[in-house]
Amino acid sequence: MTYPIIEIPGNVSSQLEQLGTKAKVWYFNEQGLKVLFKEGRPGTGENWAEKVCCEICRMLGIPHAEYELAVRGNRKGVISPTFVPEDGRLILGNELLAKVYTGYEESRTYQASHHTLRRVVAALDVLSPDFPVGWESPGRVKDSIGIFTGYLLLDALVGNQDRHHENWGVTNSQSQGLRLAPTFDHASSLGRNETDENRFERLQSKDAGRSVEHYCERARSGLYKMTSGKKPMNTIFAFQEAVKISPVAGQFWLERLGKINAVDFEFIFNEIPDSEISETARNFALKMLSVNQNRLLNL
């Protein structure tokens, strides 16, 4: 039984989404729920990466946007029901930080060194958003900073290099108040952009500089350690820094990770239709998960 590929009827009314670099449209499904269709760029693996990360979040208990594989006409992508309350809106990290820090470069897309972990933590501390809608705390994660620490563990596990200041945020509504948004947009993960030729070479290589381990070590977060930084932190280091701030939550997420084994990850990948992912891409992503899980649990 594989994950279904949802076909979006061609006659649904839709509204273009301006945010981001990929083709996105909102539409209402048969149940009247607002749903985002996000088209994956052909040959990139963005669609399966998004679905896999969604399922890993589910295993870890991390609040996340839901994703399903989808097709609209001849265009493949994923669909994601809105997590924003009907009477509310999503406020992204760049807008939040611009409200808290005078002169914050809200519109900067690349090399946004003002986007530091300490600033994110301080903004969440000041705003004190409640938990994401529908998510209940397991007890040891007591605030939004603790949840965000879980988001960074996810990034380190899957090699997500896209945690920039428009890939996290809060929702604000009269009905639900101010809440941390679930984690979303994980398509830049699991080596999805590599060619099968490069994947196969790294899986077979005896050269340490061409190994999957070395590939994993190069993954960088969209977060900087300090505003004067030249490069963002690597994903493991970003999680380590978050654990220093929220140690109880950090230990909780590591314990959750420790309960997952290779078979669990393999089950997720076996549910991805063969039409969406190659065997080499599967093996490479599974090796990445094994390497990164061991790195995290050995901290």
Q: Cβ(222)–Cβ(115) under 8 Å?
A: yes
Does 85-299 match 5-81 at the fold level?
no
Task: Please report the pLDDT score of residue 109 as a whole number.
Answer: 78
Task: Please report the pLDDT score of residue 43 as a whole number.
Answer: 87
Distance CA 193, CA 219 (A): 13
Task: Please report the pLDDT score of residue 13 as a whole number.
Answer: 58
pLDDT at 1 over 70: yes
Q: Which structure tokens are listed for 149?
A: 């620490």
SS3 253: helix
pLDDT in tens, 87-106: 999 999 999 999 999 999 99
Distance CA 12, CA 207 (A): 52
Kindly state the average pLDDT of the residues 179-183.
98
Residue 180's contacts (CB-CB under 8 Å, 6 or more residues apart) are 63, 124, 129, 130, 131, 132, 144, 147, 148, 170
14 pLDDT band, cuts 50/70/90, is: low
Kindly state the average pLDDT of the residues 43-50.
95
pLDDT at 20 over 90: no
122 CA to centre of own chain: 21
- Of 276 and 11, the structure prediction assigns the larger pLDDT to 276
* Residue whose token pair is 């991805």: 272
Domain borders along the chain are 5-81, 85-299
Residue 88 β-bridge partners: 173
Task: Calculate ∠ Cα 27-274-46, nearest 5°.
Answer: 50
140: left (phi over 0), alpha (psi -120 to 50) or beta: alpha
Task: Please report the pLDDT score of residue 92 as a whole number.
Answer: 97
pLDDT at 15 over 80: no
Distance CA 71, CA 93 (A): 30
**Edge-to-edge strand ranges of the sheet holding 75-81:** 5-8, 68-72, 75-81, 34-39, 24-28, 14-16
pLDDT at 285 over 60: yes
17 pLDDT band, cuts 50/70/90, is: low
Top-tier CATH class for 85-299: mainly alpha
Residue 260 amino acid letter: I
108 pLDDT band, cuts 50/70/90, is: confident
Taken as a whole, the chain contains a residue count of 299
Helix axes 46-60, 144-158, angle to 10 degrees: 130
Task: Please report the pLDDT score of residue 154 as a whole number.
Answer: 98
Q: What are phi and psi of 176, to 5 degrees?
A: -115, -10
What's this model's pTM, rounded to 2 decimal places?
A: 0.95
Multiple choice CATH, 5-81, 3.40.50.300, 2.160.10.10, 3.30.300.30, 3.30.200.120: 3.30.200.120
11 pLDDT band, cuts 50/70/90, is: low
pLDDT in tens, 133-170: 999 998 899 999 999 999 999 999 999 999 999 999 99
Kindly state the average pLDDT of the residues 277-281.
98
